[in-house]
């Protein structure tokens, strides 16, 4: 094997190790991006199946990125619906509201209709965004079949810890709420109070 081949193999191995290292063993072990850090500009898929970057989705506006486990999760559905009750106030403050899950576009449409959601839902089927945000962890064996079904085979075994990131126009995190206990979410009332007090 020549030196160039060895170098290429080494780079590929290092790259794959860094990707895998971004998936924590369990929810309590995640290492999320922090307030003051810039979010990566990674591609998501819209409900129409169109690939879009986070920068194009946010359109340079301050935004709320709401990560949830999937439309199969009753806690997620309740939270999505609750946040929907303050959508007009959020938009009135100049924010965009974006919800992200491993679900495939067709499942996102079902969640949107079921929960009467008017804001945008996006698919992170392979977990690239959740990994980059530092909130991905390995799903339990019993969840794998359901995750694969809801992601149309894209999800190979990760879940995002439910999280809310508020980012400014430059994509820098101004506030975050992350709780490894998927049953505990930030309330709509508290989120609205945070938004009203951010510069």
Strands 120-123 and 96-101, sheet pairing: parallel
Strands 163-167 and 173-178, sheet pairing: antiparallel
Phi/psi for 87 (5° steps) reads -60, -45
Structure tokens at 103: 């679900």
Question: Residue 23 — pLDDT band, cuts 50, 70, 90?
Answer: very high
Residues with Cβ < 8 Å from 56, sequence gap 6 or more? none
Task: Give 41-70 pLDDT, tens digit per residue.
Answer: 889 999 999 999 999 999 999 999 999 999
Task: Give 142-176 pLDDT, tens digit per residue.
Answer: 899 999 999 999 998 999 999 999 999 999 999 99
Rounded to whole angstroms, the Cα distance separating 94 from 70 reads 27
User: What HEC string does 56-68 produce?
Assistant: HHHCCCCEEEEEC
Q: What is the domain class of 3-197 according to CATH?
A: alpha beta
Sheet of strand 63-67: strand arrangement: 51-53, 43-45, 120-123, 96-101, 63-67, 163-167, 173-178
Per domain, the residue ranges of the chain are: 3-197
pTM of the full structure:
0.86
């Amino acid at each position: 094997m020549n030196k160039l081949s060895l170098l290429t193999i080494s780079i590929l191995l290092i790259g794959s190790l860094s990707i895998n290292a971004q998936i924590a063993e369990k929810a309590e072990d995640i290492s999320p991006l922090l307030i003051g850090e810039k979010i990566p500009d990674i591609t998501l898929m819209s409900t129409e199946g169109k690939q879009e970057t986070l920068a194009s989705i946010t359109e340079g506006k301050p935004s709320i990125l709401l990560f949830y486990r999937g439309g199969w999760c009753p806690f997620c559905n309740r939270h999505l619906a609750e946040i929907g009750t303050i959508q007009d106030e959020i938009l009135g403050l100049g924010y965009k509201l974006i919800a992200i899950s491993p679900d495939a576009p067709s499942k996102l449409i079902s969640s949107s209709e079921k929960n009467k959601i008017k804001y945008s839902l996006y698919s992170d089927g392979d977990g690239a965004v959740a990994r980059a945000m530092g909130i991905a962890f390995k799903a339990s064996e019993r969840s794998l079949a359901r995750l694969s079904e809801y992601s149309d085979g894209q999800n190979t075994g990760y879940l995002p810890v439910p999280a809310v990131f508020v980012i400014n126009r430059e994509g820098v995190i101004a506030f975050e709420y992350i709780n490894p206990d998927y049953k505990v979410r930030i309330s709509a009332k508290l989120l609205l109070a945070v938004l009203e007090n951010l510069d």
